[in-house]
Amino acid sequence: MFATPAYAQSASGGGDVFTSLVIPMFLIFGIMYFLLIRPQQKKLKEHQSMVEALRRGDQVVTAGGLVGKVTKVRDDDEVEIELAKGVNVRVIKQTISQVRSKTEPANSN
């Protein structure tokens, strides 16, 4: 015979299951939280505050890469952007990816 018989070993206590399985799971979740979840939440809050601070006269870049100047803040979720002289488009605030220059609000003529 090439195989040796397997002998039963004495069962150890159940305390090792907690330390060998549960504690590493908590450590992995903690590492994932601090490396992935928390920075994304921080970036989202910064983007929301940037969008809420939009005002007339700001030069912005949309998610599609269009650069223009905010001419009118329409509703809570829309702004009107002038891309070129006489070319105005309405975009949703959340699609604005960057504010290039903050200017003083233009006069309301």
Q: How many helices (H) and strands (E) does the chain have?
A: 3, 5
109 residues of the chain, pLDDT tens digit each: 566 666 655 555 555 777 788 888 999 999 999 999 999 999 999 999 999 989 999 999 999 999 999 999 987 889 999 999 999 999 999 999 999 987 765 565 5
CATH of 55-101, picked from 2.60.120.700, 2.60.40.1930, 2.40.33.10, 2.30.30.100, is 2.30.30.100
pTM for the model stands at: 0.67
∠ CA 91-97-100, nearest 5°, is 100
